[in-house]
Amino acid sequence: MARAAPLSCRTVPSPRVSPLWRNGAFVRLWTASTISVFGSLITRMALPFVAILILDAGAIEVAFLRSVDLAAALVFGLVAGAWVDRLRRRPVLIWSDLGRAALLLSVPIAFVAGVLSLVQLFVVGALAAVLSTFADAADNAYLPVVVERERLVEANGALAASGSAAEFSAFGISGVLVQTLTAPIAILVDALTFLVSAVLVGSIRRPEPAPPARADREPVLFEIRAGLRIVFRDPVLRAFALAQMAQSAMWGVFGAVWLLFATRELGLGPVAIGVIAGVGGLASLGGAVLAQRTTRRWGVGPVAVTAMLLAALGNLLIPLAPAGAPLVAVAFLLGQQLIGDSAVTMYDVTETSVRQAFVHDRALGRVASSFRVAAMLAQLVATVGGGLFAEAFGLRTAAFLAPLGALAAAAALWFSPARSLLTLPAAPVHGAPLDLAATVVESSRDEPIGG
């Protein structure tokens, strides 16, 4: 394993750097990502509304719907990362898009046929989550193939910015679609966006490094173990992984109670909720734009810590929204979107860029999946716990739990070397998988995983 570079080492870009938008491969990847994010965000709102408005689901059912999604990603996450590191990433992205399109198409078809059920929603959510797990691992590992490492913050910022713009429009449109065309038909839009994404990714012709030869591969469990060691032995990556778990716990509580709280406690309808969520997309756009500027001025670590503190402040506004005063309640929810969503986007840009800069290309899939599985585990526990807590003590009381996750994330970063991380290393801190494997064999004789 290569020795860690100093945390304060600075990445010095070439004096002559062509605009990122002249990179045709990146533009296609960016467009595909933006389109699929647009559709996915429509489904993120439409699928729970299918359960709530059509199938009369309550807090437990909504929480379980989200939990099935998380559990599937949790079970297959580490395996997905190991397999993605063995394969070319572009075909994984294409087939994942096609599979998710087929799954989502089954929802409006079943609705029109009159056979839609909660069981089908659970199955679609679970299988789509498995494919998303492979896609996310491949996507994280594929970006450094089309973009130079010293431009990862810029590229991730561009992806986050367009994703935020998609969020702004998608949530607003989704509310209208749900109210006018019904939620199942709104999901049809997402299925079509995955098809478009598959075509765009398929048009990329950038040569991808060959995957390891079969003779050089270790058993899958061994490769999973090596990926986990990268995360838990590096103090910076470990801190970001813990922060991601805490942030995901926050979103778990948020996902379990927010829609029900807005509809049943505050009396808001799908259109109003869609507009509020759309403002969050606009705020996320601002956070993505600010990420590169703020990290350049104050450093990656300080920006990540500050972002999590702001996320806690934003999410505190949700349970403080008063019932019986719709305009005031909407103002509080808008405040959460403006503060919380922009802050979380800034954090996401920094975290993703840190992972991609610290880790060699052929270990990125495993590291991304290690982060994702840890986050899914935390979010699963928080989602189920949030749903049960809401049933026992009320939606408003449960919503007070969400800001605690962001505070815990800020603490994990503050009490670690991540706080002093100013800029990203120009070369991976961790070596190629074969070098890493040799290190793991030697060190595993007397140390446990994560020791």
CATH, residue 371? 1.20.1250.20
Provide DSSP, 74-111.
Answer: HHHHHHHHHHHTTS-HHHHHHHHHHHHHHHHHHHHHHH
- Domain assignment present for residue 304? The answer is yes
CB 93 within 8 A of CB 135: yes
Kindly state the average pLDDT of the residues 82-90: 80
Name the amino acid, one letter, at 68: V
At 445 the pLDDT is 30
Q: What is the mean pLDDT of residues 279-286?
A: 77
Query: According to the model, what pLDDT value does residue 18 have?
Result: 66
**In the chain, what's the furthest Cα-to-Cα distance?**
67
Count of CB atoms situated within 10 Å of the CB of 417: 15
Structure tokens at 387: 């749903």
| Residue corresponding to tokens 């063995």 | 86
Mean pLDDT of 338-342: 89
Residue 15 burial (CB count, 10 A): 5
Which range is least confidently modeled, 56-65, 97-106, 129-138? 56-65
Percent of the chain whose predicted confidence (pLDDT) is above 90: 20
Q: What is the per-residue pLDDT for 217? A: 65
Q: Is residue 14 part of a domain?
A: no
Higher pLDDT, 448 or 23: 23
The residue length of the chain stands at 451
Phi and psi at 279, nearest 5°, equal -60, -35
Task: Give the global pTM.
Answer: 0.68
Look at residue 224 and tell me if it is in a domain.
yes
Q: Number of folded domains in the chain?
A: 1
Q: In whole angstroms, give the CA distance from residue 397 to residue 361.
A: 44
What pLDDT, on a 0 to 100 scale, did the predictor assign at position 347? 93
Q: Is residue 12 part of a domain?
A: no
Within-domain flag for 16: no
Structural domain harbouring 355: 21-208+217-443
In a domain, 107, yes or no: yes
Is residue 298's pLDDT more than 50?
yes
| 230 confidence band (pLDDT: 50, 70, 90) | confident
DSSP 38: H
Residue 9: inside a domain: no
Higher pLDDT, 84 or 332: 332
**pLDDT given at position 56:** 75
Could you tell me which of 233, 214, 215 has the C-alpha nearest to residue 225? 233
- Report the pLDDT value the prediction gives residue 168, as an integer from 0 to 100: 62
Amino acid at 185: I
* H or E element, residue 177: helix 152-181
Give the separation between CA 152 and CA 343, rounded to whole angstroms: 19
* Residue 448 in domain: no
pLDDT of residue 3: 37
User: Residue 253: what pLDDT?
Assistant: 87
pLDDT at 151 over 50: yes
